[in-house]
Chain A
């Protein structure tokens, strides 16, 4: 059982950069041959309104994260040489090899004494990445920069009308230091029997599916993913409440991965949570941001609340591709969490 507790780590700031191109559902009408009825159904059932994507696919998830990190470090007055570790959580690395994180660390001006590595996770990536960052702080590092981001535009089949309208591009930066005086609790899980519910065939070294016309594009079995979600998410909440010795009503905010409004409303209903505690608009406005969806929700919809001088009891929970899921309970007080930044193209 992967239940973890940390006593020293604290989140100091969260910044998210979203793609610079805003596409409404209506903008995608011609691309996907949507009828007016299709658009009305997508809005009603899944809550899709628009998505923010990269306008220029020469750019990547690492570029989105670098922009977030620069703003975060500048506003928190942290110098790159103070960063002990850079972790990049993504399913859209710059290259299959090497890891992208060392390059990001160098772009930010971190010295070779900074450790840097990637983690390949999607929807659960923020919670998993946070657990690793917290573990490094517990292991005596002072400052860790966690980057979570994906540019799904790079792996979307442009003809996939069920998946493509859902997905946005975003990259977040989160600074963690050793200043906490209260414990944080994590529960982490995985189940590889569902690994093909959401995957990119022919994208790695196991090439059996390379003749598949979907090779290289994300493939989703929506019913399998939904079935997984309703089975594991409510149980995961029971377990994190018990592990963190808290209860449903004591938690101020539930910040969940944002796959679509239908799933979030279902979770809300099953947990009996009011709308005010569980923001669910991120996917509607920005698109599903994969590993950046939880920090993206903080910046998009809880920016004011997270910057107040009042301690908030928060549960972050991610679930999806892997299959992989996890939740953590943390206390948040007055962190730097501005509204999302729009990606600015800077030619190197």
Chain B
């Protein structure tokens, strides 16, 4: 099922589920402070963006600093 990327909290929840985080995520969380944000998490996010028709390149992940950056990308052309 293709996901609707309209609701910000819904997007955060989906990212949290993908990363299998133990703590709830917030927009301001720095990615490098999230223990579950590792190389496998990046693959899962790439798959998730792609499945939802959102363009993302591996190099983009070097520019993403916070959860907000992930969310903004999801909203940008989803």
Contacts and interface: CB of A to CB of B under 8 A. Distances in A.
A227 B57 contact: yes
Contacts of B61: 223
Interface stretch (B3-11, B26-34, B35-43, B68-76): B35-43
Interface size class, chain A: 10 to 19
A111 interface: no
Nearest to A263: B43
A223 B58 contact: yes
A67 to B, nearest CB: 36
Contacts of A155: none
Given A41-B40, A45-B40, A230 B58 contact: no
A208 to B, nearest CB: 21
Contacts of B42: 223
Interface residues of B, number: 10
Nearest to B40: A45
Interface string A221-251: 1111011001100000000000000000000
A223 B40 contact: no
Contacts of A41: 40
Contact of B46 (A45, A162, A221, A227): A227
A262 B58 contact: no
A45 B50 CA distance: 19
A310 interface: no
B50 A224 contact: no
A26 B42 CA distance: 26
A221 B40 contact: no
A227 B39 CA distance: 13
B47 interface: yes
A45 B47 CA distance: 14
Contacts of B50: 230-231
A266 B58 CA distance: 17
Question: Considering residues B39, B42, B43, B57, which has the most beta carbons from chain A within 10 angstroms of its beta carbon?
Answer: B43
Contact of B43 (A162, A223, A231): A223
A274 to B, nearest CB: 19
Question: Considering residues A223, A224, A231, A262, which has the most beta carbons from chain B within 10 angstroms of its beta carbon?
Answer: A223
Given A221-B58, A223-B58, A224-B58, A230 B39 contact: no
A68 to B, nearest CB: 33
B47 A266 contact: yes
A276 to B, nearest CB: 23
A227 B58 contact: yes
B57 A262 contact: no
A221 B50 CA distance: 18
B39 A223 contact: yes
B40 A162 contact: no
5 contacts: A45-B40, A222-B43, A223-B58, A226-B43, A226-B46
Interface of B: 39-40, 42-43, 46-47, 50, 57-58, 61
The 8 closest A-B pairs by CB, nearest first: A223-B58, A45-B40, A226-B43, A224-B58, A227-B58, A230-B50, A223-B42, A227-B46
